[in-house]
Amino acid sequence: MAFDVATAALLAVGLLAGSVSSAASQTYTWENVKTGGGGGFTPGIVFNPSAKGVAYARTDIGGPYRLNVDDTWTPLLDSVNNSNWHNWGIDALATDPVDTKRLYLAVGMYTNEWDPNPGSILRSTDMGNTWQETVLPFKVGGNMPGRGVGERLAVDPNDNSIIYFGARSGHGLWKSTDYGVTWSNVTSFTWTGTYFQDSSSSYTSDPVGIAWVTFDSTSGTKGSPTPRIFVGVVDTGKSVFKSEDGGATWAWVSGEPLYGFLPHKGILSPLEKTLYISYSNGAGPYDGTNGTVHKYNVSTGVWTDISPTPMASTYYGYGGLAVDLQVPGTVMVAALNCWWPDELIWRSLDSGATWSAIWAWNGYPNIDYYYSYDISNAPWLQDNTSTAQFPVRVGWMVEALAIDPFDSNHWLYGTGETIYGGHDLLKWDSSHNVTLKSLAVGIEEMAVLGLISPPGGPPLLSAVGDDGGFYHTDLNTVPSQYFHDPTYGTTNGIDYAGNKPAYIVRAGASSTLPTVSLSTDYGLTWSADYAASSSTVPGAVALSADGDTVLLMPTTGSPLISKYTSSFSTVSGLPPLAVIASDKSNNTVFYGGYAGSFYTSTDGGVSFTKTVSLGSSSAVNAIRAHPSIAGDIWASTDTGLWHSTNSGSSFTQIGSGCTAGWSFGLGKAANTGSYPVIFGFFTVDGVTALFKTEDSGINWQMISDAAHGFGASSSNVVNGDMSNYGRVFVGTNGRGICATASPYGQCGGSGYTGPTICPSGWSCTVGNPYYSQCVQS
């Protein structure tokens, strides 16, 4: 359903009665702002062995995806909202080899105190379009150490009502015999996995638990439980176990080499009756300096070391492992992390006796690259300003590696940043030169830290974790590069100057360059702000209305201020970690909020004064200034939404049932001259969701919906668009940037340079030579 024009117009002119209409039926059309390259870690990729073309990828913070025939991916858990945000952490995935539309997930984000709730098994009978949930009696850690081992969830290929799940945290092995509806502890399996990364924090000290469950399909007959089941456990002692009686009794697989390494993958080659295992001395996904690849010949019980690199000279562990189910003896394995000069992947055609690599030294510093590199789907995956001698292209954090069971030419692997793969894998064997292509279109996994839509500029500038941030010329066009010169891995904050919107500031970490940079062309080009150095801790930023003063709130330490790029000095009167904003009209005015109190600076951010306490609020979550009225500001707190028209000297609390607010933004009003629309994550009448109000908080409409929940409300970043009525941007924590299509927006006309694509259900219609508009088709 598209935006309800009639209702919106009536609401805008105040003709509809009623204070709170959180159940209003308007539905916005949501689309991802396209970046095309994933942008985060893909710990697992699983092909269904029985249904051609059925494959899934799981992410650690942004849910699961299903592969489409055109190589794009469809997100499967966009329904996740504030109530079940942790369901975006996918610790394991299983696709049913018998009833191939059935799909299972183990979900939950953290096993420590960061996530209060137990995990769940989600099950689907329609390939992930709809889900049912069984809550487990323990937590699941989709974003915990060791999230790339697996899969720790598996469906019995001979009796698909049977499913096993290997838990973390010492909770052992669990089994369902009713398609995942109910679960019970397999008490005969006593090896729960004692390994944890280190004792420095509750995050790293929780045992990673069971790594994988692999059925030996060849040991059974259709319709009866599979007798032989292998289980890998994250333990530095004995770590591979098997049952020969359908899970009734278990024993260590004797002869397993005991080097103290952890078994990351246990992949069966049924045609060879052989189990292949990759080992690393760390749980991953970042670590690993030693390891082996072994095979266990099920027929003979013989273990063989088939490591591509001898242990004495290895400097990585092994992660991703794949067999070609159609071709016995074809095996591939990846170093979990080979940080220098680039990731290594090997392929063997003789069951691991000999290997060839994806690149090889040819007399240092020469390298033979046995691939051509195609990142046309996401050119920004390579920094085109980099002068690195050995560009990292193959990747890092490779735990997911898979060969299509129906197409020996088709392979995929996940990295810390994207999914690569291709359709000419057999060329590895013929000419030893494959096409390595970024194949993550549709996966939008970025964690978004800031969004602005500076008037007169591009529709959107984004600050994102790990992938820098982008100048989005067009919401449907993949950016060619992320922000450069300076280049930051993570951009923590971004802001524009209200009176000179082409002036932009951003902040992010750099080991060599200033952590703050400035642009005067809407973020197209940048220069380092030498007010900062590489040791200045980055964080949120606010740029004064005329663009000459930068307020920086580092992620640790006191706030800092710099005018005319003079060295940053400490701000007085504003607590560390306060939220900050600049007045968008008055160059000397800045705002801050912390612990329920509001702070204003009238001296260009040099000093702040606490003006008021916002009622009984104990937190200030966001501050936004009106784009063109000096002193007109809004603050969201843990008690609701507050408005001031005198630069924060006094505030009015917005009533109408709004009892909490997080990130929000102002966007263009339906009618010229009307006050902007406010969009944001609020609790209204007890419902926490994305809302808008067209009348400054008298009436509210929920604009998130059952299919678009945006995960945790408190983690999201929202902003409006002052040029396009109805457009709001939502930056998520793991599902990229979402935007509403802008139903009333201009889409063409002489001299127009903005976006030209209308939402689905709308088409761009010429009004006159100077103005084309999106109208409902």
Ligand X SMILES: *[C@@H]1O[C@H](CO)[C@@H](O)[C@H](O)[C@H]1NC(C)=O
Q: In 3D, which of 627, 638, 532 has the Cα closest to residue 583?
A: 627
* Cα dihedral 293→299→300→305 (10° resolution): -10
Tell me whether the omega of the peptide bond preceding residue 365 falls within 30 degrees of 0, making it cis. Answer: yes
Nearer to ligand X, 212 or 370 (CB): 370
Nearer to ligand X, 295 or 668 (CB): 295
Scanning 147-155, 297-305, 558-566, 726-734 for contacts with ligand X by CB under 6 A, the matching segment is 297-305
Nearer to ligand X, 49 or 118 (CB): 118
> Residue 473, interface with ligand X (CB under 6 A)?
no
Scanning 185-193, 418-426, 561-569, 766-774 for contacts with ligand X by CB under 6 A, the matching segment is 185-193
| Residue pair 700/682 in contact by the 8 Å Cβ criterion | yes
Distance CA 586, CA 628 (A): 9
Question: Is the C-alpha dihedral spanning 654, 660, 679, 623 positive or negative?
Answer: positive
> Residue 249, interface with ligand X (CB under 6 A)?
no
Using CB under 6 A, pick the residue from 25, 224, 249, 480 that binds ligand X.
Answer: 480
Scanning 363-371, 546-554, 729-737, 752-760 for contacts with ligand X by CB under 6 A, the matching segment is 363-371
> Residue 187, interface with ligand X (CB under 6 A)?
yes
What is the b/e burial string over 485-524, where b = at least 16 CB atoms within 10 angstroms of the residue's CB? ebbbebbbbbbbbbbbbbbbbbbbbbeebbbbbbbeebbe
Nearer to ligand X, 249 or 671 (CB): 249
- Token readout for 743 is 């139903």
Residues from 309 through 328 that contact ligand X (CB under 6 A): 311-312, 314
Using CB under 6 A, pick the residue from 74, 83, 117, 569 that binds ligand X.
Answer: 83
- Token readout for 262 is 């952890």
**DSSP E strands, 132-271:** 132-135, 153-155, 163-166, 173-176, 184-185, 210-215, 229-233, 240-243, 251-252, 262-269
> Residue 602, interface with ligand X (CB under 6 A)?
yes
> Residue 422, interface with ligand X (CB under 6 A)?
no
Nearer to ligand X, 44 or 172 (CB): 172
Nearer to ligand X, 482 or 744 (CB): 482
For the CB of residue 370, give the shortest distance to ligand X in the complex, in Å: 5
- Token readout for 120 is 């769940």
> Residue 357, interface with ligand X (CB under 6 A)?
no
- Residue 567 gets which letter from DSSP? P
Region of residue 52 (phi > 0: left; psi between -120 and 50: alpha; otherwise: beta)? beta
> Residue 433, interface with ligand X (CB under 6 A)?
yes
Region of residue 135 (phi > 0: left; psi between -120 and 50: alpha; otherwise: beta)? beta
Distance CA 624, CA 767 (A): 34
CA distances from 777 to 30, 99, 475, 765 (A): 17, 40, 21, 9
Q: In 3D, which of 18, 13, 7, 24 has the Cα closest to residue 689?
A: 24
Using CB under 6 A, pick the residue from 274, 418, 438, 719 that binds ligand X.
Answer: 274
Distance CA 719, CA 735 (A): 16
> Residue 192, interface with ligand X (CB under 6 A)?
yes
CA distances from 58 to 88, 426, 610, 706, 760 (A): 9, 26, 46, 21, 27
Q: In 3D, which of 78, 231, 234, 77 has the Cα closest to residue 144?
A: 234
Query: Does an H or E element contain 9, and which?
Result: helix 5-12
| Residue pair 498/585 in contact by the 8 Å Cβ criterion | yes
Distance CA 209, CA 511 (A): 36
> Residue 290, interface with ligand X (CB under 6 A)?
yes
Scanning 213-221, 294-302, 675-683, 749-757 for contacts with ligand X by CB under 6 A, the matching segment is 294-302
> Residue 68, interface with ligand X (CB under 6 A)?
no
> Residue 607, interface with ligand X (CB under 6 A)?
no
Distance CA 437, CA 26 (A): 40
Catalytic residue among 60, 96, 206, 695: 60
Scanning 367-375, 410-418, 670-678, 750-758 for contacts with ligand X by CB under 6 A, the matching segment is 367-375
> Residue 50, interface with ligand X (CB under 6 A)?
no
Class of residue 248 by CB neighbours under 10 A (exposed 0-12, middle 13-18, buried 19+): exposed
- In this structure, what are the phi and psi dihedrals at residue 312, rounded to the nearest 5 degrees? -65, -25
> Residue 297, interface with ligand X (CB under 6 A)?
yes
> Residue 84, interface with ligand X (CB under 6 A)?
yes
> Residue 177, interface with ligand X (CB under 6 A)?
no
Residues from 561 through 600 that contact ligand X (CB under 6 A): 586, 588-589
For the CB of residue 329, give the shortest distance to ligand X in the complex, in Å: 7
Scanning 41-49, 156-164, 167-175, 456-464 for contacts with ligand X by CB under 6 A, the matching segment is 167-175
| Residue pair 319/334 in contact by the 8 Å Cβ criterion | yes
Q: What character string, x for contact with ligand X (CB under 6 A) and - otherwise, covers 377-416?
A: -------xx-------------------------------
| String of DSSP letters for 486-548 | S--SSEEEEEE-SSSTT-EEEEE--SSS-SEEEESSTTSS-EE-TTS-TTSPPEEEEE-TTS-
Q: In 3D, which of 154, 59, 43, 148 has the Cα closest to residue 98?
A: 154
| Residue pair 422/342 in contact by the 8 Å Cβ criterion | no
Nearer to ligand X, 435 or 696 (CB): 435
| Residue pair 668/723 in contact by the 8 Å Cβ criterion | yes
60 catalytic residue (yes or no): yes
Ranked by CB distance to ligand X, the top (closest) residue is 172
> Residue 630, interface with ligand X (CB under 6 A)?
yes
Using CB under 6 A, pick the residue from 26, 42, 48, 81 that binds ligand X.
Answer: 81
Distance CA 156, CA 213 (A): 10
- Residue 675 gets which letter from DSSP? P
| Residue pair 407/400 in contact by the 8 Å Cβ criterion | no
Using CB under 6 A, pick the residue from 3, 56, 104, 138 that binds ligand X.
Answer: 138
Using CB under 6 A, pick the residue from 202, 372, 566, 646 that binds ligand X.
Answer: 372
Using CB under 6 A, pick the residue from 172, 395, 450, 523 that binds ligand X.
Answer: 172
| Residue pair 83/134 in contact by the 8 Å Cβ criterion | no
Residues from 19 through 38 that contact ligand X (CB under 6 A): none
Full 3-state SS string of 479-500: CCCCCCCCCCCCEEEEEECCCC
Using CB under 6 A, pick the residue from 132, 182, 190, 652 that binds ligand X.
Answer: 190
Residues from 686 through 725 that contact ligand X (CB under 6 A): 687, 689, 709
Scanning 153-161, 368-376, 436-444, 739-747 for contacts with ligand X by CB under 6 A, the matching segment is 368-376
Nearer to ligand X, 385 or 566 (CB): 385
Size of the site for ligand X (CB under 6 A): 41
287 catalytic residue (yes or no): no
> Residue 516, interface with ligand X (CB under 6 A)?
no
> Residue 79, interface with ligand X (CB under 6 A)?
yes
Scanning 168-176, 233-241, 319-327, 607-615 for contacts with ligand X by CB under 6 A, the matching segment is 168-176
Catalytic residue among 287, 429, 466, 548: 466
For the CB of residue 568, give the shortest distance to ligand X in the complex, in Å: 22
> Residue 259, interface with ligand X (CB under 6 A)?
yes
Nearer to ligand X, 112 or 160 (CB): 112
Using CB under 6 A, pick the residue from 351, 453, 517, 699 that binds ligand X.
Answer: 351
For the CB of residue 45, give the shortest distance to ligand X in the complex, in Å: 24
Nearer to ligand X, 489 or 596 (CB): 489
Nearer to ligand X, 433 or 558 (CB): 433
Interface contacts to ligand X, rule CB under 6 A? 79, 81, 83-84, 137-138, 170-172, 185, 187, 190, 192, 259, 272, 274, 290, 297, 299-300, 311-312, 314, 351, 368-370, 372, 384-385, 433, 480-481, 586, 588-589, 602, 630, 687, 689, 709
Q: Which residues belong to the active site?
A: 60, 466
